Amino acid sequence: MDRTLNLTPLTNTDWWKKTVIYSTYVDKFAGDFTKMTERLGYLSLLGIDCVHILPFYPSPFVDDGYDISNYCDVRKELGTLDDFATFTAEAHRRGIRVMIDLVLNHTSTRHPWFIEASASPKSPKRDFYLWSKTGNEYAGAANPFSVLKSSNWVANPAGDDYYFSTFYPEQADLNWNNTEVFAAMMGVIDFWTARGVDGFRLDAAAHLIKKEGTGCVSLPETHIVLKRIRAYLDAHHPGVALLGEAHGNDPISVLKSYFGDGDECHLMYHFPLVGKLFLALKRDDRSVLDPMLAESAGIPADAQWATLLRHHDEMPLSSLPKDEGNEVFDYFDAEKKYQFNLGTSLRTATMFRGNQRHILRAFELLFSVPGSPIIYYGDEIGMENISVDADERDTRRSVRGAFDWEKAERQIADPGSLFNGVAAIVKTWKAADVLVATTV
């Protein structure tokens, strides 16, 4: 590795309070990390402060990379660890921070930990996961992927028992009651911060702890784990931020709990706001947002909402009152073509039938509310949903198409394009003397 590379995080420790985050996949956006480095100029032109790289780890790719088989490497088709470090160094040179996913809840069933654990009850890694002889425990646990599996307990192919899986059957949940799991994950944090990472998106943070007689979601014990992670970061990697993902159908009061007293997540996705944003756009009535913005205030000083129109998963609508949820669903996805769970997988341009004026209005509304806004790759050039196989039950894949560079280059050259309109919105937002705390 070139030891002249700047692999340390940038110095401003509260950078996350006012930052524009661009969320993308390396392969879909650029191909590999070498080409991703070459494309950083595009992000600078758009006004991006932080790039969130969606999973790039070695993976069997059952869940588009969220089934990780090695936490401390780069998927070979995307390059090497040196390529990643070069990318991070160049991003830092341009003043762009780098955030990556930290998938805490589960590993791939092809991760060496699970392979060893499943082979024998006497394995030292056995207690890294959750096991059952009957599959009857945690009967009240949420099954978010009920469309894909009937039970959270999956038969162990290497034994006569079951392992617990919240999401895809090929994703085995980790046992966070085991202190060795915590130590292993802190080692993962150490590994990537040494390579310049400035932040971690905590995938499925609400599901970490399972407890009999509960829904196994957002338990008090989960917050204890998050406080320990935050304390570790503050002690060893100050300035490195945590972006938490909790349930899209949770009320704001529950989402606020993930900030703790300023000692858990620095940022939290504001999923309930997403549905309200689109309701306001549908009705052409910004006042729809006022009660929610008022309820969103009062978070710790060392905390911030991450606001968004879209991301790589479905748009959650179940946090809206039923009549409002139906109103948004019926307007944007009347045929339920892109329904997934209780939400819909739609790109912003698909929602507005490619109407540039309406898309820009959506971005203007996003950048008008308190928080650190996220741009999902391609939305700034009006990319739409891609076609997926007719029997594909995971409609989220329709919002994960390859970036259209020909379209992007045409728009960069056109002063009246969507890209330049979004870049102007970003520039105005960054230049404005606005409060970074979530007050209204």
Beta bridge partners of 132: 162
- Dig out the tokens for 248 from the structure: 């899209």
- Dig out the tokens for 378 from the structure: 């391609």
Helix, strand, coil % in the chain, rounded to nearest 5 = 40, 15, 50
Check if 245 is active-site: yes
Measured distance CA(106)–CA(71) in Å, rounded: 11
Residue 45's identity, in one-letter code, is L
Nearest to 180 by CA among 234, 132, 125: 125
Q: Which of 63, 245, 327, 394 is catalytic?
A: 245
Q: Using CA atoms of 284, 366, 303, 42 in order, give the dihedral in degrees to the nearest 10.
A: 170
Transcribe 176-241 into DSSP letters. Answer: TTSHHHHHHHHHHHHHHHTTT--EEEEETGGGS---TTS-SSS-HHHHHHHHHHHHHHHHHSTT-E
Residue 55's identity, in one-letter code, is P
Check if 327 is active-site: no
At residue 34, φ and ψ (nearest 5 deg) are -65, -45
Query: Please, are residues 156 and 162 in contact by the beta-carbon 8 Å criterion?
Result: yes
Measured distance CA(20)–CA(379) in Å, rounded: 14
Measured distance CA(74)–CA(26) in Å, rounded: 11
- Which residues does 35 contact at the CB level (< 8 Å), separation at least 6? none
Nearest to 22 by CA among 273, 379, 402: 379
Question: What's the gap between Cα 267 and its chain centre?
Answer: 11
Measured distance CA(130)–CA(165) in Å, rounded: 9
Query: Please, are residues 208 and 222 in contact by the beta-carbon 8 Å criterion?
Result: yes
Q: Which of 49, 67, 203, 380 is catalytic?
A: 203
Q: What are the residue numbers of the active site?
A: 203, 245
